[in-house]
Amino acid sequence: MSTDMTNNNARTTHLKEMTPEQTAEAIKNIAKRIREESIKMRETVKIIRQSGAIEELTEAVREATMAARDSAKEINEVANELKQKGVIRETISAAEETGAAARDTAQTVRDTVSRNQAKDKTAPA
């Protein structure tokens, strides 16, 4: 398939429907578009570079990277302090105790439900 770019309207035609002359013309049109777009791209890059946008973007990325690094260091320091103070160990212990208490409570509820169901089955109707 090839694309005819007449009047900026993309129209797809089958290659076997094109004559050799039409194929040559289509190739010339494609080459012309490539040249035109290349010129636009060069001009755009030149303007972006002259505007300082590339430097601004680079500086912004550098600052963001440094902020992320500093934040990671700070978080690591706080985590180490909490670990040294035993806060993390206490938190884990409390979570484990809470989990055990929740399991005990769930078992008590299951036992109560089972006893009530057994009473309901043996009670006269």
Torsion of CA 21, 23, 24, 30, to 10 degrees: 150
pLDDT digits (tens, 9 = 90+) for 52-98: 999 999 999 999 999 999 999 999 999 999 989 999 899 999 999 99
Question: Does 118 or 78 have the greater pLDDT score?
Answer: 78
More confident position, 59 or 15: 59
45 and 13, same structural domain?
A: yes
Q: Quick one: 39 and 62 in the same domain?
A: no
Domain range spanning residue 43?
1-51
Rg of the chain in Å (alpha carbons): 37
Establish if 41 belongs to a structural domain.
yes
Instruction: Indicate whether 47 and 58 sit together in one domain.
Output: no
Q: Are 15 and 1 in contact (CB under 8 A)?
A: yes
Q: Let me know whether 58 and 96 are in one domain.
A: yes
- Based on the domain organization, do 46 and 62 belong to the same domain? no
Domains in the chain, number: 2
Q: What is the predicted pLDDT for the residue at 117?
A: 83
- Is the confidence at residue 2, as pLDDT, over 50? no
